[in-house]
Amino acid sequence: MRLTGRALRLTIFVDDTDTWHHKPLFTEIVHRAHRAGLAGATVLHGVEGFGASSVVHTTRLLSLADDLPAVVVIVDEEERIRAFMTELEELPIDGLVTVQEVEVVRYGGRKAESG
């Protein structure tokens, strides 16, 4: 797949304790993105943050380390991102979902190794 020029970045903010059918919600999102044939997905684990609840969650010593932020980032062509967003409708995402226009300047996939 070649991905260059104008694209969209889909960013999904969830808690690392959010689940879907007894597995992490972020895992379900990544696997759905993979099945949809999207260019790639990355999960970033936050060490501190707050959202609509205004409760700060942190990994710092003497603080509770539950409900830490996890962010799923997916970049692909606009049509593919918009189509994939319908896959998210049935998932219990209580966090923020954003879409931003980006410019892809390099997308390097792995090349098949020759025997």
Number of domains in the chain: 1
Q: Identify whether 112 is part of a domain.
A: no
Q: Identify whether 52 is part of a domain.
A: yes
Long-range contacts of 42-46 (CB under 8 A, 24+ apart): 42/72, 42/73, 42/74, 43/70, 43/71, 43/72, 43/73, 44/70, 44/71, 44/72, 44/73, 45/16, 45/69, 45/70, 46/70, 46/71
Query: What average pLDDT does this structure show over 22-49?
Result: 95
Q: Identify whether 109 is part of a domain.
A: no
Q: Identify whether 88 is part of a domain.
A: yes
Q: Identify whether 113 is part of a domain.
A: no
Confidence of residue 64 (pLDDT cuts 50, 70, 90): low
**Full residue range of the structural domain in which residue 53 is found:** 5-104
Q: Identify whether 110 is part of a domain.
A: no
- Taking only the tens place, the pLDDT of each residue in 90-108 is 999 998 999 999 999 988 7
Residue 49 to residue 59: CA distance in whole angstroms: 10
CATH code of the domain covering residue 100:
3.30.70.120
- Taking only the tens place, the pLDDT of each residue in 3-32 is 889 999 999 999 999 999 999 999 999 999
